[in-house]
Amino acid sequence: MKNKISNSIVWIDGKWYDGDQPVMSAMSQSYMHGSTVFDGARAYNNCVPDLDKHCARLLDSARFMGLKINYTNKQLADLCIEGVKSFEKGAELYIRPSIFANSGFLVPDPDSSKLVITLFRAAMPLKVGFTAMISTLRRPNPDMAPTLAKASCLYANTSRALKEANKKGFDNVVMRDGEGNVVEFGSANLFAVYKGKLLTPVWNKTFLNGITKKRLISLFDREGIEVEETFLSVKKLLACDEVFSTGNFGKVLPVIRINDKKYEIGKNCIRAMDLYSEFAAKSIIN
């Protein structure tokens, strides 16, 4: 691996390579049957907030999907940091560790599981606000798909939903569950402010209970600010005063429009961005 390469790098079989290194064959079980799991972390401002939690979730996802890898959470995190250090200080990177099955047919062979860590440049989004529409697509129930894992096979529907939104001039989508409850954005969790009260959809196992979401709830709690986890209808969402998102890619981002409803970037969103920035600054890489 070259130092300070320009675009991406990948770790596999104990070595780092430039990011275009092939990692999977046509006979790999995950190639045909979608058993790959992954997670996403961030490096920016020379910080890697909650990297350990992202690595731990990857291992949990692997177990849920019948995969097995002989690395500890700390070993995974150390490998990710090693990769980050091959770029210049302060580089804005997406960190994507993943595990796939190399053998098996419909059922993955756990002993064939392989670890791949990819890092690539990805600029942090500007905090100017994004737009979204209510998607016509839904999140599956836990008995319909492996929703308790961060599995690649779940993201085909996300891609369809985002394509639908982009065709209609929106940046993102609001996803609902099978009962019609608002659960999240297509690529992030959702917070809203209704009559001065902070709300977020209660985790009902149909969507990812995000690490950044849980982190922000804990940061608000330390400030004495309650976040109510509740069922949220489309009607109530469109009656809210503020909406913002939390997620690994952009951390905390304001929402300025959903369908035809416009929102201001309010004090709760601004406070959320400040609280998270203060927290992230504590995860600096030495």
Residues 269 and 143 in one domain: yes
Residues 231 and 143 in one domain: yes
114 confidence band (pLDDT: 50, 70, 90): very high
Are 285 and 48 spatial neighbours (Cβ–Cβ below 8 Å)? Answer: yes
286 confidence band (pLDDT: 50, 70, 90): confident
Residues 137 and 271 in one domain: yes
Checking if the pLDDT of 4 tops 70, the result is no
Query: What's the mean per-residue pLDDT of the chain?
Result: 96
Residue 115 lies in a domain: yes
CATH of the domain at 244: 3.20.10.10
- Of residues 286 and 207, the one with the higher pLDDT is 207
**Which residues, 6+ apart, have CB-to-CB distance to 276 below 8 Å?**
49, 212, 215, 216, 219, 246, 251, 252
**Over residues 89-113, mean pLDDT:** 97
Question: For residue range 210-235, what is the model confidence (pLDDT) as tens digits?
Answer: 999 999 999 999 999 999 999 999 99
Residues 23 and 88 in one domain: yes
Residue 3 lies in a domain: no
Question: For residue range 37-93, what is the model confidence (pLDDT) as tens digits?
Answer: 999 999 999 999 999 999 999 999 999 999 999 999 999 999 999 999 999 999 999
Residue 41 lies in a domain: yes
**Over residues 154-178, mean pLDDT:** 97
Question: For residue range 6-49, what is the model confidence (pLDDT) as tens digits?
Answer: 799 999 999 999 998 999 999 999 999 999 999 999 999 999 99
Tell me, what's the pLDDT at 5? 62
Residues 138 and 276 in one domain: yes
- Print the SS3 string covering the chain: CCCCCCCEEEEECCEEEECCCCCCCCCCHHHHHCCCEECCEEEECCECCCHHHHHHHHHHHHHHCCCCCCCCHHHHHHHHHHHHCCCCCCCCEEEEEEEEECCECCCECHHHEEEEEEEEECCCCCCCCEEEEEEEEECCCCCCCCCCCCEHHHHHHHHHHHHHHHHCCCCEEEEECCCCCEEEECCCEEEEEECCEEEEECCCCCCCCCHHHHHHHHHHHHCCCCEEEECECHHHHCCCCEEEEEECCCEEEEEEEECCEECCCCHHHHHHHHHHHHHHHHHECC
Checking if the pLDDT of 3 tops 80, the result is no
Residues 240 and 136 in one domain: yes
Residues 162 and 84 in one domain: no
- Domain end residue (candidates: 121, 139, 165): 121
pLDDT above 70 covers what percent of the chain? 98
How many domains are there within the chain?
2
Residues 70 and 146 in one domain: no
Residue 260 lies in a domain: yes
Residues 80 and 198 in one domain: no
CATH of the domain at 69: 3.30.470.10
- Domain end residue (candidates: 68, 93, 121): 121
Residue 278 lies in a domain: yes
Residues 106 and 156 in one domain: no
Residue 1 lies in a domain: no
Residues 107 and 149 in one domain: no
Residue 189 lies in a domain: yes
Checking if the pLDDT of 251 tops 70, the result is yes
Residue 106 lies in a domain: yes
Residues 276 and 135 in one domain: yes
Question: For residue range 174-188, what is the model confidence (pLDDT) as tens digits?
Answer: 999 999 999 999 999
| Full residue range of the structural domain in which residue 44 is found | 8-121
- Domain end residue (candidates: 121, 146, 180): 121
107 confidence band (pLDDT: 50, 70, 90): very high
